[in-house]
Amino acid sequence: MKNKRPSLAVEIAGIKLKNPVMPASGTFGYGEEYAPFMDLERLGAIVTKGLSLAPKAGNPTPRIAETISGMLNAIGLQNVGVDAFIQHKLPFLREINTPVIVNFFGNTLDEYGEVARRLSDIPEVAGVELNISCPNVKQGGIVFGTDPVAASEVVGLVRKHLNKPLIVKLTPNVTDISVTARAAEEAGADAICCINTLTGMAVDVKTRRPRLANRTGGLSGPAIRPVAVRMVHQVVQAVKVPVIGVGGIMRPVDALEFLIVGAKAVQVGTANFVDPAAMITIIDGIEAFCVEEGISDIHQLIGSLQL
């Protein structure tokens, strides 16, 4: 007897996703970069590169360094700015039948509010992801993300200016991520996304210089996955809003780990660089796993961790 296709559909803060897989911001450009390699409509959502009010040039080079099972980056949030995004990048995304989630950040509290306000007016933006967690620039929000009071303030302010679903992306560079997760939830976050990269450093032993011009960078890739799974597990326990899990997902089984600990959706980052169709493989793999396990709806899997 042929198994019925399982339902992979989930809903995050009112955004309906056909499956729980989406790119992590900053690893997928503005979507168009990966259009030659995959059918973008197969994705649960498209999450775009972090936007600021004004265009941002980013950090000096070298900006990336490979480490064991990971990658350090200090791109510095290079982006075209919110207005150029709306004018030049959004028309491409508008044609794709997949929800668009726009990641953004501000240099100041006021800028956070202003970018949120401008994105509020755009019907094609299904939701926004508030970045308070970039480790590579002070203004990338990490100053907000590491202090629960400041996190609460910026989430509250953005909430006031925004009439769309609000996902808050948290940094793992804190002692207890559940504290910032609760602060974000109480201030009005509709969903939590965790984790962003872990601050790291690599040194060229011959030149004895840091391998990144910025000295430190954000570590991503499979090296961080166990940390991310642990933190997602903690955050799921701490908040009532849906959690999106991210950190080192390369294969379907990696995504399943996050779903089982309670993430309602996952983001795939570094894997996109290694295999541009990684997310398609992951979606297919999740479906195949559900069929194999006799799971008809992905919600049977989400949060099914046995302790």
Partner 1 sequence: MKNYKTVVLSNQEISSGYYRMRILAPGFGSKAKPGQFLMFRVQTSLPPLLRRPFGIFRMGFMPADCDGQPPKEFVEILYKVVGRGTEIMSHLQVGSKVEVLGPLGRGFDLGAPGEQKILVGGGIGLVPLYMLARELTRKSSVRLLMGGRTREDILAVTEFERLGVETYVSTDDGSLGEEGLVTQVLLRKLDKYPNASVYACGPMPMIEAVQEICAARGVPLQVSLEALMACGVGACLGCVVKGAGHSEASPRYLCSCKEGPVFRAEQLDWTKLGQEPGYCEGCKI
Longest CA–CA span in the chain (Å) reads 63
Decide if 112 contacts 158 (C-beta within 8 A). yes
When asked if residue 272 is in the footprint of partner 1 (CB under 8 A), the reply is: yes
Q: Which amino acid is at 99?
A: P
CA atoms within 13 A on the CB side of 298: 28
Nearer to partner 1, 129 or 190 (CB): 129
When asked if residue 204 is in the footprint of partner 1 (CB under 8 A), the reply is: yes
Separation of alpha carbons 118 and 82, rounded Å: 8
Decide if 194 contacts 183 (C-beta within 8 A). no
Q: Is residue 134 annotated as a catalytic residue, yes or no?
A: yes
Instruction: List the one residue from 11, 33, 121, 176 that touches partner 1 (CB under 8 A).
Output: 33
Separation of alpha carbons 266 and 246, rounded Å: 6
Q: 134, 193, 194, 290: which one is catalytic?
A: 134
When asked if residue 52 is in the footprint of partner 1 (CB under 8 A), the reply is: no
Total residues binding partner 1 (CB under 8 A): 42
Nearer to partner 1, 99 or 218 (CB): 218
Burial class (CB in 10 A: 0-12, 13-18, 19+), 87: exposed
Nearer to partner 1, 127 or 269 (CB): 269
Burial class (CB in 10 A: 0-12, 13-18, 19+), 65: buried
Nearer to partner 1, 1 or 57 (CB): 57
When asked if residue 67 is in the footprint of partner 1 (CB under 8 A), the reply is: yes
Q: How far is the CB of 52 from partner 1 (least distance, A)?
A: 14
Kindly report the number of other CB atoms within 10 A of residue 122's CB atom: 17
When asked if residue 62 is in the footprint of partner 1 (CB under 8 A), the reply is: yes
Site for partner 1 in 126-185 (CB under 8 A): none
Q: Which residues bind partner 1 (CB under 8 A)?
A: 26-29, 33-34, 36-37, 57-58, 60-71, 73, 75, 78, 202, 204-207, 209, 211, 213, 221-222, 270, 272-277
Residues classed as catalytic: 134
